[in-house]
């Protein structure tokens, strides 16, 4: 019993950071937006880490899951707004649709791409977001390249006042909840057979197979989990905060890049890494955009290269090594 | 009427395909020798496009002369990135080289953006047209297609007729064996990477001769995806496979565009891009070693 | 009933025949040495048995079940374990976690949870004498420790058949005797059939194997009790017929 509660101690620092961000945003005037942005990056990192960090596979099309999640929410609002009985449940249905869409897309992509090894997988995914975007635009699905705009529907469902509070407050709270959930799921995976299987296949896929691990199955588990969190992030930050969807925006590879930077910066495959990465990335982006607007990527690209070459373990990875066998070490995984 | 249009587009597809093939050889060469997937491939093509633009607009130098210039710049960039980054990651997990080449691509885009800005540009090289009976082809496209074939042949001769070329080939086939036979594998890696980047940057020139508008720091992304489709068509590790993959792809792209344009209620350009992605997935699924390989 | 049975198994790579119509039987609890020079097809044969490659021709049976086209991850739970020529630890995980993976996905897999697997791992780690290194990252072990860890990891699977690829290669001669005695005891105590693959007919193999199978250029040329096999003129030809610099 004692041992089992000890297993989940590493969630304490993660949740503590999230709580501090929330309280700072809520109580210090003018800070909410910055805190919300930091939470968004932590959530993004936490979600992507479940796949990139735990399997060692790079999904260059990750943003596609955020994109279809956004569409899941948007379509629910657009199509269900006139059913007055549903009321605010439309938003709940929207989140379910977001999970559904991202799960279906990740199963479809995963079924093909996760049979492939390392580099071939990365190549297969590099076009997923663009491919999906061009499918939507080319076949004029979901209003094609004109996108969906649903400010009116949102106001109709919730009333103007509540819709605005949703966009400026509750959507961000939802992101916080997603980040915390993703962290909890990460730790549950780490402590279960799934985590052991993922570590094994990340380190040596052939040896893992011979050890009896159904590598494709576990990769798909990680992929789908990670994708559905991405779908939720998309649904809350993009669809609820800015009530419109345009294909070129929600399938923009830029967000995949940000997710990769966050995970690597913090330490791939660690629980606390995405938090550290999200904070460092979010804060530096925020201040760079004030002092050196437009140069964020110019500065971040060489930083990623340096991390990969010099500190492949990331901030938390190094910390974890230092603190192995110490009392603090139990809190950092 | 339709068949004339299709035939005309397919002829253009052959020229375009040759350029695509040439633009993919560098990717395949690097993968074949170093087992590194250059995810920043398109950015190097973009650098070639800007070299053309700068030489033509700034100094009035013909794009044809920009080819060797771009090749030289590419060699230098290749050596620089090999010794600063790639060499240190050869033994690291695949994740590392994928992310590193990806980041190199972003770096190039941002540096070019800093220098040239991010608006779309183009240049106007007037060299006339040639009437091939079914279709009229601008001379610049003809030069680009023929230039690509010439470069591919030169590469073939270099691989098969020179000492350095055959050393590099031996590394592709068996790096341990090559080491035993006295080939300096480290140098072969460095020069293969440099050669691959050189070819890629040079191909950027040829692409602008074909499509002289739409030069922009972020133009490379689309070409990276196309190059992967083409490389996978040709077996990923073989530069010649890539060249023929390019020809096939050029035909598919122009042919499918012509067909999609007949469908009501769709955007043919976007569907063509979607199709190329589907081709990539399907080939990877059924035959990851490439369609054009024997056996 | 033979534990493992190969019927006319052939594996080709392009034009090269790596394993040529090999048939063999291994009984439960038996200790067999597979001997053959470099390139004789030993590792390919192991890969066919553990499912890394599927043969073009022939069939593989494990406990009378046809496993010819069974993927490797389904063979391990049946009781086929293996170690690699060059150890392949899950480098970032601790020794304990590495060994626990064996318990989690091997024969015991469906019955044990993570905690039980870790307990099994602890017992086996003690058995192979790695308890001091239990919490170290596997990547930081010495080569000999890595070999021991791989053996522990394979044992944690509770295999009925253990394939050992060059278990003694690169070990100090003084360690080899100990290792051989250790494996032999282990196999006897646990009732595991061990197939040890070695490049050269070492004293060690002679000491432990009940049966020796000799491969040459992909074909089985000898399959006999150890003493008899060693006197076979074909074996002498394979080993002494080669010029010494090979």
**In whole numbers, what is the pLDDT of chain B averaged over residues?**
87
Mean pLDDT of A164-187: 95
Measured CA to CA, the distance from residue C103 to residue B118 in angstroms comes to 57
Fold agreement between C1-44+53-65+210-246 and C71-192: yes
For helices B41-53 and B63-81, what crossing angle results, to 10°? 140
**A200 touches C at CB < 8 Å:** yes
| Inter-chain touch C101–A215, beta carbons under 8 Å | no
pLDDT tens digits along A227-268: 999 999 999 999 999 999 999 999 988 899 889 989 998 999
Which of A199, A212, A269 has its CB closest to that of C73?
Answer: A212
Assigned domain for B210 exists: yes
Tokens found for residue B267: 């955007």
Distance of residue A320 Cα from the nearest chain C Cα, in angstroms? 12
Mean pLDDT of B187-197: 92
- pLDDT-based confidence at residue A5 (cuts at 50, 70, 90): low
Distance of residue B112 Cα from the nearest chain A Cα, in angstroms? 10
pLDDT tens digits along B203-235: 999 999 888 778 999 999 888 888 988 998 887
| Inter-chain touch C106–A196, beta carbons under 8 Å | no
Which of C77, C88, C89 has its CB closest to that of A212?
Answer: C77
As for the ipTM of the complex, it is 0.90
**A134 touches C at CB < 8 Å:** no
Which of A123, A128, A304 has its CB closest to that of B103?
Answer: A304
- pLDDT-based confidence at residue A3 (cuts at 50, 70, 90): low
- CB C97, CB C180: distance < 8 Å: no
Strands A148-149 and C80-83 turn out to be unpaired
CA dihedral in degrees (B110, B111, B115, B121; nearest 10)? -50
- pLDDT score, position C244: 41
What residues make up the domain containing B26?
2-286
- pLDDT score, position B161: 87
Chain B residues whose beta carbon lies within 8 Å of the beta carbon of residue A135: 270-271, 274
- From first to last of its 246 residues, what are the pLDDT tens digits of chain C? 789 999 999 999 877 889 999 999 999 988 898 888 877 888 899 999 999 999 999 999 999 999 999 999 999 999 999 999 888 999 989 999 999 999 999 999 889 999 999 999 999 999 888 999 999 999 999 888 898 899 999 999 999 999 988 777 767 777 777 777 888 888 888 889 999 887 766 666 667 788 889 888 889 988 988 888 878 888 777 776 554 443
| Inter-chain touch C114–A193, beta carbons under 8 Å | yes
Q: Is A333 strand, coil or helix?
A: coil
* CB-based burial label for A160 (10 Å; 0-12, 13-18, 19+): exposed
- For the cut 50, the answer to whether the pLDDT of residue A294 exceeds it is yes
Tracing tokens 């390019």 back to the chain, one arrives at B246
- For the cut 50, the answer to whether the pLDDT of residue B259 exceeds it is yes
pLDDT tens digits along A15-70: 999 999 999 999 998 899 999 999 999 999 999 999 999 999 999 899 999 999 99
CA distances to C51, C83, C146, C165 from C44, rounded to whole Å, are 10, 14, 22, 11
Residues 119-158 (B) with a CB less than 8 A from some CB of A: none
Q: Is C215 strand, coil or helix?
A: strand
Mean pLDDT of A126-148: 88
Interface residue of A60, A119, A317 to substitute, partner B, most B CBs within 10 Å: A119
| Inter-chain touch C106–A212, beta carbons under 8 Å | yes
pLDDT tens digits along B21-30: 999 999 999 9
* All structural domains of chain C with their residue ranges: 1-44+53-65+210-246, 71-192
**C93 touches A at CB < 8 Å:** yes
Domain at C1-44+53-65+210-246, CATH homologous superfamily: P-loop containing nucleotide triphosphate hydrolases (3.40.50.300)
Assigned domain for B226 exists: yes
Task: Using CA coordinates, name the residue in chain B closest to A299.
Answer: B107
Share of chain A above pLDDT 70, in %: 98
| Inter-chain touch A301–B228, beta carbons under 8 Å | no
Assigned domain for B293 exists: no
Interface residue of B96, B102, B237, B289 to substitute, partner A, most A CBs within 10 Å: B102
Chain A residues whose beta carbon lies within 8 Å of the beta carbon of residue C91: 203-204
Distance of residue A6 Cα from the nearest chain C Cα, in angstroms? 13
Count of CB atoms within 10 A of residue B293's CB?
Answer: 13
Q: What does R_g of chain B's alpha carbons equal in angstroms? A: 19
User: What one-character DSSP code corresponds to residue C73?
Assistant: H
- For the cut 80, the answer to whether the pLDDT of residue A6 exceeds it is no
Distance of residue B131 Cα from the nearest chain A Cα, in angstroms? 33
Question: Counting one residue from A and one from C, how many pairs have CB atoms under 8 Å apart?
Answer: 80
Interface residue of C49, C73, C76, C149 to substitute, partner A, most A CBs within 10 Å: C73
Domains and CATH numbers, chain A: 2-331 (1.10.3470)
- Residue C193 host element (H or E): strand C193-198
**For the domain C71-192, what is the CATH code?**
3.40.50.300
Count of CB atoms within 10 A of residue B188's CB?
Answer: 22
Q: Name which of B101, B194, B220 is nearest A304 in CA terms.
A: B101
* CB-based burial label for B3 (10 Å; 0-12, 13-18, 19+): exposed
Assigned domain for B99 exists: yes
Mean pLDDT of A69-75: 97
Assigned domain for B295 exists: no
- pLDDT score, position B290: 60
**A326 touches C at CB < 8 Å:** no
Number of domains within chain B: 1
- For the cut 50, the answer to whether the pLDDT of residue B294 exceeds it is no
* CATH code of B149's domain: 1.10.3470
Tracing tokens 């990851």 back to the chain, one arrives at B288
Q: What is the DSSP string of chain B?
A: -HHHHHHHHHHHHHHHHHHHHHHHHHHHHHHHHH----TTHHHHHHHHHHHHHIIIIIH---HHHHHHHHHHHHHHHHHHHIIIIIHHHTTS-HHHHHHHHHHHHHHHHHHHHHHH-SS-EE------EEE-SS-EEEHHHHHHHHHHHHHHHHHHHHHHHSHHHHHHHHHHH-HHHHHHTT--HHHHHHHHHHHHHHHHHHHHHHHHHHS-EEE-TTTHHHHHHHHHHHHHHTTSS-HHHHHHHHHHHHHHHHHHHHHHTTSTTS-HHHHHHHHHHHHHHHHHHH-TT-SSS--
- pLDDT score, position C41: 87
- pLDDT score, position C245: 40
Which of A124, A144, A298 has its CB closest to that of B280?
Answer: A124
Distance spanning both ends of chain A, measured CA to CA: 20
- For the cut 60, the answer to whether the pLDDT of residue B295 exceeds it is no
């Amino acid at each position: 019993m004692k041992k089992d509660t000890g297993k989940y101690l590493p969630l304490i620092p993660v949740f503590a950071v999230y709580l501090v961000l929330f309280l700072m945003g809520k109580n210090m005037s003018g800070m909410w937006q910055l805190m919300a942005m930091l939470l968004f990056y932590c959530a993004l990192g936490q979600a992507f880490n479940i796949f990139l960090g735990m399997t060692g596979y790079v999904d260059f099309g990750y943003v596609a899951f955020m994109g279809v999640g956004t569409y899941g929410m948007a379509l629910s609002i657009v199509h269900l707004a006139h059913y007055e009985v549903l009321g605010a449940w439309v938003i709940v249905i929207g989140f379910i649709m977001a999970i559904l869409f991202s799960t279906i897309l990740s199963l479809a992509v995963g079924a093909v791409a996760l049979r492939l090894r390392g580099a071939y997988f990365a190549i297969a995914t590099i076009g997923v977001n663009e491919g999906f975007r061009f499918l939507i635009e080319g076949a004029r699905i979901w209003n094609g390249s004109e996108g969906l705009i649903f400010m009116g529907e949102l106001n109709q469902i919730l009333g103007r006042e509540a819709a605005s509070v949703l966009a400026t407050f509750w959507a961000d709270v939802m992101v916080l909840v997603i980040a915390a959930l993703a962290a909890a799921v990460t730790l549950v995976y780490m402590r279960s057979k799934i985590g052991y299987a993922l570590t094994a296949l990340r380190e040596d896929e052939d040896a893992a197979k011979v050890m009896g691990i159904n590598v494709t199955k576990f990769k798909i588990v990680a992929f789908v989990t990670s994708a559905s969190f991405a779908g939720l992030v998309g649904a809350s930050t993009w669809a609820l905060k800015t009530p419109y969807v345009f294909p070129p925006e929600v399938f923009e590879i830029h967000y995949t890049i940000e997710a990769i930077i966050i995970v690597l910066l913090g330490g791939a495959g660690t629980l606390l890494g995405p938090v550290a990465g999200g904070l460092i990335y979010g804060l530096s982006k925020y201040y760079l955009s004030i002092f050196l607007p437009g140069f964020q990527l110019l500065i971040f690209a060489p930083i990623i290269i340096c991390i990969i070459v010099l500190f492949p373990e990331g901030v938390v990875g190094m910390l974890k090594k230092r603190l192995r066998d110490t009392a603090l070490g139990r809190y950092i995984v | 009427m339709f068949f004339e249009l299709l035939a005309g587009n397919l002829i253009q597809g052959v020229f375009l395909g040759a350029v695509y093939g040439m633009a993919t050889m560098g990717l395949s060469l690097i993968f074949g020798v170093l087992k590194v997937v250059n995810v920043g491939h398109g950015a190097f093509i973009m650098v070639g496009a800007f070299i053309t633009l700068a030489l033509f607009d700034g100094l009035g130098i013909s794009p044809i002369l920009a080819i060797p210039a771009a090749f030289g710049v590419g060699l230098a960039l290749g050596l620089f990135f090999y010794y600063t980054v790639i060499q240190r990651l050869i033994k690291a997990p695949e994740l590392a080289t994928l992310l590193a080449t990806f980041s190199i691509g972003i770096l190039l885009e941002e540096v070019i953006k800093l220098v040239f800005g991010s608006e779309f540009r183009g240049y106007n090289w007037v060299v006339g047209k040639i009437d091939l009976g079914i279709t009229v082809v601008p001379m610049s496209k003809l030069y680009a297609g023929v230039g690509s074939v010439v470069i591919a042949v030169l590469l073939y001769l270099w691989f098969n007729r020179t000492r350095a070329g055959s050393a590099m080939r031996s590394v592709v086939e068996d790096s341990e064996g090559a080491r035993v036979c006295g080939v300096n594998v480290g140098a072969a890696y460095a020069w293969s990477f440099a050669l691959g980047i050189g070819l890629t940057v040079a191909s950027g020139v040829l692409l602008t001769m074909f499509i002289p508008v739409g030069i922009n720091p972020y133009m490379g992304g689309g070409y990276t995806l196309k190059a992967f489709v083409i490389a996978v068509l040709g077996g990923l590790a073989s530069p010649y496979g890539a060249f023929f993959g390019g020809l096939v792809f050029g035909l598919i792209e122009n042919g499918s565009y012509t067909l999609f344009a007949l469908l009501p209620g769709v955007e043919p350009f976007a569907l063509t891009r979607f199709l190329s992605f589907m081709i990539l997935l399907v080939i990877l699924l059924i035959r990851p070693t490439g369609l054009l390989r024997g056996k | 009933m033979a534990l493992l049975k190969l019927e006319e198994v052939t594996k080709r790579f392009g034009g090269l025949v790596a394993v040529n119509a090999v048939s063999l039987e291994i009984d439960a609890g038996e200790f067999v040495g597979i001997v053959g020079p470099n390139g004789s097809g030993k590792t390919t044969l192991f890969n066919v048995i553990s499912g890394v490659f599927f043969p073009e021709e022939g069939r593989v049976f494990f406990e009378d079940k046809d496993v010819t086209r069974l993927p490797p991850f389904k063979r391990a739970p049946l009781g086929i374990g293996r170690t690699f020529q060059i150890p392949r630890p899950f480098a970032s995980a601790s020794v304990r976690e590495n060994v626990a993976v064996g318990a989690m996905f091997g024969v015991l897999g469906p019955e044990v949870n993570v905690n039980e697997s870790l307990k099994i791992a602890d017992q086996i780690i003690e058995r192979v004498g790695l308890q001091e290194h239990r919490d170290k990252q596997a990547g930081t072990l010495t080569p000999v420790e890595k070999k021991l860890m791989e053996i522990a990891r394979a044992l944690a699977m509770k295999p009925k058949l253990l394939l050992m690829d060059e278990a003694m290669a690169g070990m100090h001669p003084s360690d080899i005797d100990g290792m051989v005695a250790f494996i032999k005891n282990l196999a006897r105590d646990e009732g595991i059939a061990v197939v040890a693959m070695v490049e050269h007919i070492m004293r060690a193999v002679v000491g432990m194997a009940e049966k020796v199978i000799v491969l040459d250029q992909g074909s089985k040329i000898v399959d006999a009790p150890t003493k008899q096999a060693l006197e076979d003129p074909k074996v002498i030809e394979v080993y002494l017929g080669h010029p010494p610099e090979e």
